Chains A and B, each alone.
Chain A
Amino acid sequence: MRCLLCDRVVEKIETWTGLFSRRQKWTTCASCMAKFERVSEQAYEGIRTIYVYNEAMRDWLHRLKFSQDAIIAHVFADEIKKLCSHYKKAVIVPIPMHPAKKRARTFAHMDVLLEAAGVRYTHLLEKTTTDTQSQKSRVERENSATLFTRNAIQLRKDTHLVLVDDIVTTGTTIRHAHEVLKRDGFTHIEVLVFISARK
């Protein structure tokens, strides 16, 4: 088996669980995994972040989103699965992509990430604009009009929701999504973001 990121041959350690559970097809070598750095303390209020946006993470995100190498979503499959299993009976709500942009990229990276981990999710939001946050200045971001609308899927208003996104920089995207859901009457909303741009 080869490492997804560096293509070096990885010897899988045989374990009893490995023997009895379904065999994992995609692996990442230990030295590649060690380059990702975990968040030591949460830098955003009300947002749970997992990894720091360092060189390795930038590289990985670039390969996933712009080189469109969808399979490297599997690098964090175990991690995401473990994280999402903390939220019992919660509905996972990924931040959506605009349909036109999704067609251009041929996949939505958040959906692919969650699918790789085998996590079920429900889209409750729809993206209304095609412009990306990363191309705007800080002021533009914070003053931008609504980015999302609620779609037609109806849930009980006391459902525990977990908003998930790939990266948080100023937090505008998350704030907008949070507001839209809150205005619709949802009371119990948590936020889980994979990468924190603040150290």
Chain B
Amino acid sequence: MNDELARLQQFLSGRIWPAGKLPFDESVIAKAKERQLIDDVQAIEFLKGKPSCRRCRCASFDTYIRYYCAKCDKICVYCRNCIQMGRLASCDTLVRWIGATATTDVKPKLQWQGQFTAAQARVSQELIDSVRAKRSHLVHAVCGAGKTEILFAAIEIALSMNWRVCVATPRTDVVLELAPRFQQVFPDVTVQALYGGAPLATSYSPFIVATTHQLFRFEDAFDIIFVDEADAFPYTFDVALQQAVVKARKQDGVTMLVTATPSINMQAQFQKTGAYSFIPRRFHGADLPVPRFASLWFYDKQLQMNRLPKKIARWIKNCEDKGQPYLLFFPTIALMKQAAHLFSVPAVYAEDAERKEKVLALRNGEVAGLLTTTILERGITIPRVQVAVIGAESAIFTASALIQISGRVGRAQHEPTGDIVFFHHGVTREMDAAKREILRLNAEVN
């Protein structure tokens, strides 16, 4: 095989890529096709008459749009679910590598001299056992348990067995944070970070850190996928990510799931096989802060009438007196914007262009607090932060969302406590469930 074909092999191994968008010469592709090394597949297949996107496998009927295609002079179908990666229609084709896949024979050396807590060491060993036995595993760790370090040893073993490894997470900022950390501890391996807008590397890498969407570009590629969603709030292990994981891993591949809020089904399923680890403690060993409920009747009406409820005012004053930064969570952007002028602190929301700057200002102590919606920066590990949720009874605040919000409090070593208060217009089951779960996690150790 000549150089060009070898480069194509390196790039295309495990990938499924739109034809005509490959970063290679036409002649190379033609040669590969001639030697039956690559294969064309229809981008939108029809399974029992139902369209199915070969890239994202979206099952919803609404995402497939029929339109009159001027290229084919007939009705074609395109997929809206993955359109931001370039549109795929039923008249497009995807290219797969069907020859021998690329391999590397690096002997990865883990270069990490950290200290595990007892719980971390135990879970790390359990993960290694699962990797050796090649079975899927669930790690249930509370927010701030130090879960990235737990993965190191397991990844080292997987790499040394010449497995292709992927760490998948729903958020780009998590990829940007994780990739350099992995690169640091595995200096012999090139860690490829894949996210929307990342520069396209054509070389083969046995270790990939990717967002959910980038995972769609792979098929039958990985022997082991670590799904890290412990801090991925507000995205949970959603259907899209699950599908992407199943599609991207090999038929006999395994999934290692790290999460702070597993569903009961998932928990039961993994407990049955024994591939379940649990860390109920944070690395500093203190209890998780337990939320308290405070009634705030008709808060939305009060805010709409431009009145700041007394309880909130008192809570803010208390924080400011003690010099503690605070976060106020709102259920909707609309309510937050309406109420913003009642507060002396800035408001952040998902589409806010200055989001990063505002969060940084809070961390540096330039502002006393922040108003925010549920979509908040992950890196918001602010020491001594106090949290209040306004309208905790709203449908958007599910039990897992509330647990994750509570997890923002008391993450620092020297001050592991803090106030987390749910201001509500009636207590919901979700609020009860969140509080019960946190109490249960605390009781587990005591």
* Contacts from A to B (Cβ < 8 Å): 2, 67-71, 102-108, 112
Contacts and interface: CB of A to CB of B under 8 A. Distances in A.
9 contacts: A67-B84, A68-B78, A69-B87, A102-B70, A103-B71, A106-B71, A106-B76, A107-B70, A112-B67
Nearest to A102: B70
Given A67-B84, A68-B87, 19 more contacts: A67-B83, A68-B78, A69-B80, A69-B83, A71-B67, A71-B80, A102-B70, A103-B70, A103-B71, A105-B70, A106-B69, A106-B70, A106-B71, A106-B89, A106-B91, A107-B67, A107-B69, A107-B70, A112-B67
A62 B217 CA distance: 24
Nearest to A25: B62
B317 to A, nearest CB: 33
Q: Which of B62, B65, B67, B89: most chain A Cβ within 10 A?
A: B67
Contacts of A2: 62
A3 to B, nearest CB: 12
Interface string B53-73: 000000000100101111100
Given A67-B87, A69-B87, A107 B80 contact: no
**Which 3 pairs, one residue from A and one from B, show the smallest C-beta to C-beta distance?**
A70-B67, A71-B65, A102-B70
Contact of A108 (B70, B80, B87): B70
Contacts of B70: 102-103, 105-108
Nearest to B84: A67
A108 B68 CA distance: 10
Interface of B: 62, 65, 67-71, 76, 78, 80, 83-84, 87, 89, 91
B315 to A, nearest CB: 30
Nearest to B67: A70
A106 B87 CA distance: 11
Contacts of B65: 70-71
Contacts of A102: 70
Contacts of A103: 70-71
A87 B70 CA distance: 29
B67 to A, nearest CB: 5
A41 B80 CA distance: 36
A70 B62 CA distance: 14
A121 to B, nearest CB: 14
A106 B68 CA distance: 8
A105 B70 CA distance: 8
A67 B89 CA distance: 12
B134 to A, nearest CB: 38
Contacts of A69: 80, 83, 87
Contacts of A107: 67-70
Nearest to A112: B67
A2 B60 CA distance: 12
A105 B69 CA distance: 9
B93 to A, nearest CB: 14
A107 B78 CA distance: 12
Nearest to B70: A102
A45 B184 CA distance: 64
Contacts of B80: 69, 71
A70 B78 CA distance: 9
Contacts of B69: 106-107
A34 to B, nearest CB: 11
A112 B70 CA distance: 11
A48 B62 CA distance: 35
Nearest to A63: B83
B175 to A, nearest CB: 22
A199 to B, nearest CB: 22
Nearest to A104: B71
A104 B89 CA distance: 13
A175 to B, nearest CB: 27
Contacts of B87: 67-69
A103 to B, nearest CB: 5
A105 B71 CA distance: 8
Contacts of A71: 65, 67, 80
A99 to B, nearest CB: 8
A102 B67 CA distance: 14
Nearest to A101: B70
Nearest to A1: B62
A152 to B, nearest CB: 20
Q: Which of B62, B76, B80: most chain A Cβ within 10 A?
A: B80
B301 to A, nearest CB: 21
Nearest to A69: B83
Contacts of A106: 67, 69-71, 76, 89, 91
Contacts of B91: 106
A187 B83 CA distance: 44
Contacts of B78: 68, 70
Nearest to B60: A2
A93 B78 CA distance: 28
A4 to B, nearest CB: 9
Contacts of A105: 70
A136 to B, nearest CB: 24
A102 B69 CA distance: 9
A150 to B, nearest CB: 22
Contacts of B83: 67, 69
A106 B76 CA distance: 10
Nearest to A99: B70
A74 to B, nearest CB: 10
B386 to A, nearest CB: 30
A61 to B, nearest CB: 15
B153 to A, nearest CB: 40
B279 to A, nearest CB: 35
Nearest to B334: A31
A170 B80 CA distance: 34
